[in-house]
Amino acid sequence: MAKRISLTRYLVEQQRVAGHIPSELRLLLEVVARACKSISQAVNKGALGGVLGSAGSENVQGEVQKKLDIIANEVLIEANEWGGHLAAMASEEMDGIYVVPNRYPQGEYLLLFDPLDGSSNIDVNVSIGTIFSVLKKPDGDRGVEESDFLQPGSHQVAAGYCVYGPQTTLVLTVGDGVAMFTLDREQGSFVLIQENLRIPEDTKEFAINMSNMRHWDEPVKRYIDECLQGKEGPRGKDFNMRWIASMVADVHRIMMRGGVFMYPWDKREPNKPGKLRLLYEANPMGWLVEQAGGAATNGRQRILDVQPTQLHERVSVILGSKNEVERVTSYHSAL
Ligand code: AHM
Ligand code: MG
């Protein structure tokens, strides 16, 4: 029987053999994975666990919070606050940062997350997930501040997501390619399925919410219009479309078989750069995609180079198969 490599062993090897991660970061990632297992269990129980439906509250972005948004947020906070590896956390579901309480030792890392991405899919039993990003606190000697989180994505030291779908799958990078693990429910551990995930450079599949078409900018309209013309159009090939409305599930499909994902700026709220959040959605996904040989831009700039100015800042997102992302990006500069 083929040797099974657990997440724990993979991380120990990353630390010991490859020297990619210090032990504190390894522990942090183990704790995040453990929290994802708990969230996966809650998701699986669904109505039987009383976890479906609205929590009757709104987050800082004015979105209605689902019970599972709050549960997942609490699971991640409780799992991570006492281990001594973190200084603070930030989440889509919390207005400000969560500083590790004084009763626990403070570490040097910052953890950012979207605890339950794809919230609109929770109650209809469609794939959802957790997205996370790890940064280092810039100055080790003073107390942590919100501005410490405002680092470009290129500073991330680890990033990943966990999809709660037909399988629970964790996808991770520490800057040395992308590895994928599936949760073995009987054993209670994540098992390595594939190392060095590669996204094909070309694709015939795009993911975008087509109902927003009338609000898009010209470059995005042009790209999608050319895809829709299929074999008879300038691209000379037919395209397929998928939109799950869970970024985590759409990105996972792209990790597996390629494609381009877009949530671009649009005219509905011209002052907002887009719908998705830079620090805990676009940056971790952008880095994972780049680590798998793909590309991620906001149409004008590499996402990982965007200098954040706010914790919950939004950004236009175009990511996935390299050649397609470059094409959409070139249409922006052609204007
Ligand atoms: P969420 O983090 O509140 O779930 O919102 C982000 C989600 C993404 O996962 C997904 O790509 C997008 O919102 C879907 O938006 P829409 O409903 O406009 O298609
Ligand atoms: Mg989200």
Distance CA 284, CA 286 (A): 5
Closest ligand 1 atom to Cα of 212: 18
The pLDDT of residue 335 is: 61
Closest ligand 1 atom to Cα of 261: 11
The pLDDT of residue 1 is: 57
Which of 306, 316, 302 has its CA nearest to residue 272? Answer: 316
CATH code, 7-194? 3.30.540.10
What does the DSSP 8-state code read for residue 281? Answer: I
Distance CA 104, CA 119 (A): 32
The pLDDT of residue 22 is: 93
Candidate of 216, 246, 278 to mutate for ligand 1, largest count of ligand atoms within 8 Å of Cβ: 246
Residues pairing with 190 in the sheet: 183
Provide CATH 3.30.540.10 ranges for the chain.
7-194
Closest ligand 1 atom to Cα of 118: 4
How long is the chain?
335
CA pseudo-torsion sign 192, 249, 90, 74:
negative
Closest ligand 1 atom to Cα of 248: 9
The CB of 274 under 6 Å from ligand 1? The reply is: no
Which of 124, 270, 62, 284 has its CA nearest to residue 292? Answer: 284
Provide CATH 3.40.190.80 ranges for the chain.
205-333
CA dihedral 277, 279, 283, 288 (to 10 degrees): -110
Nearest ligand to the CA of 209 is 1
Closest ligand 1 atom to Cα of 263: 11
Closest ligand 1 atom to Cα of 250: 11
The pLDDT of residue 290 is: 98
Q: Establish how many alpha carbons lie within 13 A of residue 277's alpha carbon, considering only the half-sphere containing its beta carbon.
A: 25
Going from the Cα of 243 to the center of ligand 1, the distance in angstroms, rounded, reads: 10
Nearest ligand to the CA of 281 is 2
What does the DSSP 8-state code read for residue 59? Answer: -
The pLDDT of residue 204 is: 96
Predicted structure pTM score: 0.96
Residues pairing with 241 in the sheet: 206
The pLDDT of residue 95 is: 94
Going from the Cα of 106 to the center of ligand 1, the distance in angstroms, rounded, reads: 33
Nearest ligand to the CA of 279 is 2
Candidate of 275, 279, 281, 319 to mutate for ligand 1, largest count of ligand atoms within 8 Å of Cβ: 275
* Residue burial 294-331, b: 16+ Cβ < 10 Å; e: rest: bbbbbbeebbbebebeebbbbbbbbbbbbebbebbbeb
Closest residue to atom 4 of ligand 1, CA basis:
118
Task: Confirm if 266 and 216 have CB atoms less than 8 A apart.
Answer: yes
| Span 245-280, pLDDT tens digits | 999 999 999 999 999 999 999 988 888 889 999 999
Phi then psi for residue 251, to 5 deg, are: -70, -35
| Span 122-174, pLDDT tens digits | 999 999 999 999 999 997 678 899 999 999 999 999 999 999 999 999 999 99
The CB of 107 under 6 Å from ligand 1? The reply is: no
Closest residue to atom 14 of ligand 1, CA basis:
245
| Per-residue pLDDT in tens (0 to 9) along the chain, 335 residues | 578 999 999 999 989 877 779 999 999 999 999 999 999 999 999 999 888 888 888 887 778 788 899 999 999 999 999 999 999 999 999 999 999 999 999 999 999 999 999 999 999 999 999 999 999 999 767 889 999 999 999 999 999 999 999 999 999 999 999 999 999 999 999 999 999 999 999 999 999 999 999 999 999 999 999 999 999 999 999 999 999 999 999 999 999 999 999 999 998 888 888 999 999 999 999 999 999 999 999 999 999 999 999 999 999 999 999 999 999 999 999 76
Going from the Cα of 275 to the center of ligand 2, the distance in angstroms, rounded, reads: 9
Going from the Cα of 119 to the center of ligand 2, the distance in angstroms, rounded, reads: 7
The label of the residue with tokens 């120990």 reads 12
Q: CATH class for domain 205-333? A: alpha beta
